[in-house]
Amino acid sequence: MTTEAPAAIQIERSINWLDANRDKLIKIAIAVAVVALVVSYYVWNRDQQEVAASAALSDVPPGSGAAESYLKLAGQYPQTTAAPRAVLLAAGELFAAGKYTEAQAQFERLLREFPETSFRLQGSLGVAACLDAQGKTADAVSRYDEVIKRYPNESATAQAKSALARLYEAQNKPELALALYEDLQKTEVYNSFGLEANIRRMNLLAQHPELAAKTKPSAVNFK
């Protein structure tokens, strides 16, 4: 009896505490349920938004109005992963249409408004290409160089190297251009960038024979 009495007292106290705090506990349970409902709805709604946004992007017809449609979708679904993709697609459409200033604005918007997007390399490369297309050589050189240094191991960086080498040629900087062509020739052996780099390298050496000695191994003297 002595061991059971304290246990019975403790149970009675617990029951009394539950009775006294019943309303508070009910309110807490309701609050927890509401929070869980809100969170589950948010997750569900986010997933639905993602599905709807992706489907809408796929339904955009090609043509002159595509860029406008993509930008409209980016505004309609700003919190989805489709939004930066829509901005990138719009920028690409504008670039293809020769609207380089407008395309540059959208590439820069992509980098500014979506800092965590996986399309940052494409956005940076797009800005450089727009500057290049507008004849802003010095700015384009700086942007291409930035892409190469920031994304050294990405396959798309080959495009930046090829474009930068061509601009170095235009600036009469054959040594810098040659270094990039030789790099592309080694690293992009099985694609168009490597093949083009090889041709441009040979043309560059033909135009600047003084560079040839720097690219060939020294002759061995057998005397």
Distance between CA atoms of residues 173 and 199, nearest Å = 17
42-98, pLDDT tens digit by residue?
343 456 667 777 677 666 767 678 889 888 888 888 878 888 888 988 999 999 999
Distance between CA atoms of residues 116 and 123, nearest Å = 12
The residue that leads in pLDDT, 111 or 2, is: 111
**Is pLDDT above 60 for 216?**
no
Distance between CA atoms of residues 67 and 192, nearest Å = 29
**Is pLDDT above 90 for 190?**
no
pLDDT value at residue 52: 74
Distances (CA, A) of 34 to 37, 39, 43, 206: 5, 9, 14, 76
pLDDT category of residue 219 using cuts at 50, 70 and 90 = very low
Please state the rounded mean pLDDT for residues 191-214. Answer: 87
Distance between CA atoms of residues 105 and 11, nearest Å = 71
CATH of domain 64-154: 1.25.40.10
**Structural tokens at position 128:** 């450089």
The domains of the chain are located at 7-41, 64-154, 156-214
pLDDT value at residue 17: 62
Distance between CA atoms of residues 130 and 91, nearest Å = 10
The residue that leads in pLDDT, 223 or 181, is: 181
122-173, pLDDT tens digit by residue?
999 999 999 999 999 999 999 999 999 999 988 889 999 999 999 999 999 9
Query: Would you tell me how many other CB atoms lie within 10 Å of the CB of residue 62?
Result: 7
Determine the 3-state secondary structure of 181 from DSSP.
helix
Burial label for 220, CB within 10 Å (0-12, 13-18, 19+), is exposed
Percent share of the chain, pLDDT over 90: 42
pLDDT category of residue 9 using cuts at 50, 70 and 90 = low
pLDDT value at residue 181: 92
